[in-house]
Amino acid sequence: MDRRAGHLQPTLGRALWGWALFIAVETLTQVVFKFAGASLDVGQGLVTTALHAVTTPVVLLGFALYFCGFLIWMTILKTIDMGRAFPMTGAIYVATLAAAVLVFHETMNLTRIVGVVAIIAGVVLMASDEDSEP
C-alpha cells in the first residue's frame, strides 16, 4: 500500500477482495433473511413475532451477517470516496437476484434481465469515472 493525501490506499487486489466479500456477505444476508421470514408467523401479532424472532437462530444469524456487512461497508468507505463506492453496491442486486434464482428457484423474465443489465451498466459507468477525486 502507498500513502496519498495522508490516507492508506489499498492495492487493487485488496480492494477487489473487499468488494467481493461485501457483496457475498450482503447477498448471504438477504438469503438468510428470506429463510428467517419463512420461519415467522406474523399472524400472531407484533410482540409475539418479535419475541419469536429474537429467539430464532436463523433470524439471529441474519442480524449477525447484517452487522458484518455494516463493518465491511465502513471499512470500504474509509478508503474509497462515497460517490464511487455507493454505486458499486448495485452489484448486490445482481448477486441477490442470482441467489433467488439458484436457491429459491425464482423465475427470471425479460424485465429482470433488462434491470440487471441496466444495473451492471450503471456500476461500470460510475466505477470508470476518472474525474472524481480519490
- Mean pLDDT, residues 92-115 taken together: 93
- Which backbone phi and psi does 10 adopt, to 5 degrees? -70, 150
Rg (CA), the chain: 18
CA-CA distances (angstroms) from residue 5 to 13, 45, 131? 21, 54, 17
- Quote the pLDDT of residue 61: 96
Percent of all residues in the chain with a pLDDT value above 70, rounded to a whole number:
87
Task: For residue 23, give the nearest of 97, 82, 83 by alpha carbon.
Answer: 97
For residue 132, what pLDDT band results from cuts at 50, 70 and 90?
low
Place of cell 463506492: 85
pLDDT beyond 60 at 77? yes
Contact 53, 110 (CB under 8 A): no
pLDDT digits (tens, 9 = 90+) for 8-55: 455 767 777 888 999 999 999 999 999 998 888 878 888 888 888 889
Contact 59, 36 (CB under 8 A): yes
